[in-house]
Chains A and B, each alone.
Chain A
Amino acid sequence: MSEHDVSFDAMGSHVRLLIGEPGPAMETAEEAAAGARRFVAEFDAALSRFKPGSELCALNADRRERVPASALMRAAVKAGLTAAERSGGLVDPTLADEIEAAGYLESRSGMEGVPLADALAAAPPRRPAAPATAARWREIEVDDDGGTISRPPGVRFDTGGAGKGLAADLIAARLSGYSRFVVDCGGDIRIGGADAANHPYSISVEHPLSGRRPYVLRLRGGAVATSGLNVRIWRDDDGRYMHHLLDPASGEPAWTGLIGVTALGATAVEAETLAKAALLSGPARGRELLAATGGLLVHDSGRVERAGSLSVRPRMRLPEPAGAAR
Chain B
Amino acid sequence: MTESSRPRRPGFGPVLWGSVALFALLFVLLTYQLAAATEPEPRPVVQRKVIKRRVVTTVVPSPGAPVESGGEPAESSSPSEAPPVETAPPVEAAPPVTTSAS
Contacts and interface: CB of A to CB of B under 8 A. Distances in A.
Interface of A: 12-14, 16, 18, 164, 182, 184, 186-189, 200-208, 210-222, 224-232, 260, 262, 264, 287-288, 291-294, 296-297, 302-319, 325-326
Does more than half of chain A's interface fall in helix, strand or loop, or is it mixed?
A: mixed
A308 B53 CA distance: 34
22 contacts: A12-B102, A13-B102, A184-B98, A187-B98, A187-B101, A188-B99, A204-B68, A204-B97, A205-B100, A212-B69, A214-B71, A215-B74, A220-B84, A220-B85, A228-B100, A288-B78, A296-B74, A305-B77, A307-B77, A308-B83, A312-B80, A312-B82
Interface in B55-89: 64-89
B53 A304 contact: no
B15 interface: no
Nearest to B85: A217
B96 interface: yes
B90 interface: yes
Contacts of B16: none
B74 A213 contact: no
Given A186-B102, A213-B96, A319-B70, A313 B90 contact: no
A257 to B, nearest CB: 14
A303 B79 CA distance: 19
A302 B87 contact: no
B45 interface: no
Interface residues of B, number: 39
Contacts of A228: 100-101
B90 A306 contact: no
A221 B84 contact: yes
Given A228-B100, A287-B77, A316-B88, A309 B68 contact: no
Contact of B102 (A218, A231, A310, A319): A231
A214 to B, nearest CB: 4
B72 A304 contact: yes
Contact of B99 (A224, A305, A315): A224
